[in-house]
């Protein structure tokens, strides 16, 4: 898998455009505050990211601000991957760390 920043951006943008049926999307475009998608979509988005990349979205990151634009999402993915080069966190039911 290509894990370069540019490839991640393209993957994330493609997913959002396909899933939210958008005809165009700028990398820095705010997807929630602009009304392009609702917070319900964030669930789909997080599940997509976790399927595509070796990371787990934890309680503190569970915020639409983290996923506000393609740029922000890609930045988040790169940061999480650089932190999680050790053992991957569990993906099983009940593995989230809230509260």
Partner 1 sequence: MDGASPLTLCESRNTPAKYKTVGVLGAGVMGCGLTSALVMTGHHAVLVDISPSILEAAQTEISRSVRFQKLHGAAPTLNSREALQRVEFTLKMEALGRADFVVENVTEDWHIKGDCIRRLDEIVTLDKVIAVNTSAISITRIAARARAPGRVIGLHLMNPVPLKSTAEVIPGYHTTLETIDRTLEFLRGLGKEGIVVKDSPGFVSNRVLMLAVNEAAFLVYEGVATAEDADAIFKRCFGHKMGMLETADLIGLDTVLRSIEVLYESFNDPKYRPCPLLKTMVNAGLLGCKSGRGFYRYEQS
Binding residues for partner 1 (CB under 8 A): 15, 18-19, 21, 35, 38-40, 42-44, 46-48, 59, 62-64, 93-99
Q: How far is the CB of 99 from partner 1 (least distance, A)?
A: 4
Output 22 or 78, the one with its CB closest to partner 1: 22
3-class secondary-structure state, position 73: helix
Output 24 or 85, the one with its CB closest to partner 1: 24
Task: Measure the CA–CA gap between 3 and 22, rounded to whole angstroms.
Answer: 24
Output 21 or 85, the one with its CB closest to partner 1: 21
For residue 4, count other CB atoms closer than 10 A to its CB.
9
Q: How far is the CB of 96 from partner 1 (least distance, A)?
A: 4
R_g of the chain, CA atoms, integer Å: 13
3-class secondary-structure state, position 99: coil
């Amino acid at each position: 898998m290509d894990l370069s920043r540019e490839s991640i951006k393209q993957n994330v943008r493609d997913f959002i455009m396909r899933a939210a049926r958008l005809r165009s999307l700028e990398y820095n475009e705010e997807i929630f505050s602009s009304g392009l998608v609702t917070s319900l979509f964030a669930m789909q988005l997080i599940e997509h990211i976790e399927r595509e990349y070796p990371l787990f979205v934890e309680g503190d990151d569970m915020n639409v601000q983290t996923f506000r634009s393609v740029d922000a999402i890609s930045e988040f993915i790169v940061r999480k991957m650089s932190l999680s080069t050790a053992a991957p966190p569990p993906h099983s039911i009940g593995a989230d760390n809230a509260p």
